[in-house]
Structure 1
Amino acid sequence: MKQLNDMGLFVEVVKAMNFRRAAEVLGMPSSTLSRRISALEKAIGLRLLHRTTRKIELTEAGQVYFERCKRIVEEARLAHEQLGDMLAQPSGVLRVSLPVDFSVTYLAPLIAEFARQFPLIDFDLNASPRNVDLVGEPFDVAIRMGEPVDSLLIARPLASLSTHIYASPDYIEQKGEPKQPADLSHHECLYMLKANTWLLHDDTQSHHVAVSSRFMLNSMGMVRRFAALGMGVAILPAGIAADDVAHGLLQQVLPEWRGASIPVYALTETRLLPAKVLRFIEFLRLHLAAQPA
């Protein structure tokens, strides 16, 4: 990389035919510039410039080297300009793996707004509970809820979703309303897979509650739906429960208690990301942080 940088310095010296003027253009001391060119000549093994106190001239080898370097430096300049254009207005296909329920409730409106802001980006969105292989499959980024399990991936935090306890009015009418966390052990509770211990907390204390259910579910949408159908009590992010609460299908119980917050991450294989992916992650982080708790 240093030799490539020195090629660019050499081109500027030849264009100016003067070390002092070239150094002014480059914003570096002429003595440093002279040493870098001397080191370049030593690395190549050929003299590139004839230097006198009054002027510099290209050697034959220097003329050949300049013609090659000039094209390389120009290509590099154009590449940086194009990358700058991409950063200003990202383009291409953005391939994203998304969790089903979270993407429908939280991400769909945000992705629609992002698409309006960046009309040159096309979208390949895959909503699935499956943890895709970011190394072996052609995804740019995966959005995941919960703590990352693959330490080889780069995890960028996007949000932390607060959760609350909900039940349907029909369920409360039939089974009664829990008045304290310990009461939940006597209720039908709906949860994801084997999350059969709930950690609840209020402003001053925490409480672990062992819960049970007739249903083993792998979808937060199914948890919400079964709760709305009166099949049990559920802990849900406020945004996912909001529509059913607004329509009277769910109501908050134990309102002074909250469930454990759910972290949301953007996972990538590498830290070196194209502009379309960086802008997407930054957009989600900014707007998810603004979501109501």
Structure 2
Amino acid sequence: MDDYLNDMALFVEVVKARGFRHAAEAIGMPNSTLSRRITALEKTIGLRLLHRTTRKIELTEAGQIYFERCKRIVDEARLAHEQLGEMLAQPSGVLRVSLPVDFAVTYLAPLIVEFAGLYPGIAFDFDLTPRRVDLVSEPFDVAIRMGESESSQLIARPLASLTPHLYASPGYLERAGEPGKPADLKQHECLSILKAGTWTLHDGKRTVTVPVSGRFALNSVGMIRRLAALDMGILLVPREVVDDELASGALRPVLPGWRGAPTSIYAITETRLLPAKTQRFIEFLRERLAR
């Protein structure tokens, strides 16, 4: 409520309490402050609202009319505030989200199912194409992105950081041998995203950059994961992307002491002023991805 509406609400409380002292006690405000606020309200509207005596207050004729109008306005404002609180507690509407295809399918899907169960009033409209949607001109509430954050004109909220590790299938390692050190990767089929010519690996103390090559260069993590499970080479991806393959034994770690540079995950929005459905979705993902 703005100051004028607050003063209207104070006036209503004074009339209901039949005096300043009881109203001041009820709302937790000093009696003198409350009296000054009502006097200032009378000056603002140019009307005498109350006859004050040492024992009681009485409404003037104008005060009676003003009280009835104020009470209706204040009651409506309080009802609207309560309804807004209910909307924030149980957000609703259509949540339009742009998602990275492979990460959404392999990792986010069960989290989205959990979120949908928590907020049955929300419907979902997902865009899982590889393109970068335009949040300014297209009707998306949020885009989930991996890697570097986008335009500085957009709002990027960090959700998590995933660290890539090396994996290969038992069949591939049996055929090609298992690398004992990062430099050995030069002799292997390495499944790269977007024709990466090198992999930079860390073991906590050392950092090495290894030239890598292979017959396949793709822009799909899902396809690279599938090729690795079919004995076609070594891949460098976050564990979260290959959880199912690791659990089934289709893939296993390679050079487990080494890892790639962390990959950041962001929630990208056009503005900081977000509807409740979008706020809850971003908060939920941040909490779950941080586990």
Q: Classify the TM-score, shorter chain.
A: 0.7 to 0.9
Aligned counterpart, 1:116: 117
Aligned counterpart, 1:209: 210
Does the CA contact (< 8 Å) of 2:195 and 2:217 recur in 1?
A: yes
Q: Give SS of 1:209's match.
A: strand
1:250-269 Cα offsets, whole Å, 9 max, x none, are: 33211110111222222223
Q: Distance in 1 between matches of 2:9 and 2:194?
A: 60
Does the CA contact (< 8 Å) of 2:97 and 2:143 recur in 1?
A: yes
Q: Distance in 2 between matches of 1:265 and 1:194?
A: 24
Give the TM-score, by structure 1 length. 0.87
Aligned counterpart, 2:143: 142
Match of 2:122, as an amino acid? I
Match of 1:52, as an amino acid? T
Q: Distance in 2 between matches of 1:218 and 1:50?
A: 79
Give the TM-score, by structure 2 length. 0.88
Aligned counterpart, 1:7: 8
Aligned counterpart, 1:38: 39
Q: Distance in 1 between matches of 2:41 and 2:156?
A: 41
Aligned counterpart, 2:88: 87
Residue 159 of structure 1 pairs with residue 171 of structure 2? no
Q: What is the CA RMSD across the aligned residues, in angstroms?
A: 2.4
Aligned-residue offset at 1:211: 3.0
Aligned-residue offset at 1:206: 1.9
Query: Which blocks of at least 5 consecutive residues in structure 2 are unaligned?
Result: none
Aligned-residue offset at 1:25: 1.7
Q: Give SS of 1:259's match.
A: coil
Residue 104 of structure 1 pairs with residue 71 of structure 2? no
Aligned-residue offset at 1:278: 2.6
Q: Distance in 2 between matches of 1:195 and 1:56?
A: 82
1:225-277 Cα offsets, whole Å, 9 max, x none, are: 23334443211111222323344433321111011122222222333333333
Aligned-residue offset at 1:30: 1.3
1:137-156 Cα offsets, whole Å, 9 max, x none, are: 22222222123122233333
Aligned-residue offset at 1:216: 4.0
Aligned counterpart, 2:276: 275
Query: Which blocks of at least 5 consecutive residues in structure 1 are unaligned?
Result: none
Count of residues in correspondence between the two structures: 290
Distance 1:129 1:63, change over 3 A: farther
Q: Distance in 1 between matches of 2:15 and 2:196?
A: 70
Between 216-225 and 69-78, the greater mean CA deviation after superposition: 216-225
1:132-185 Cα offsets, whole Å, 9 max, x none, are: 223332222222212312223333322222211122344434544332222334
Match of 2:154, as an amino acid? L
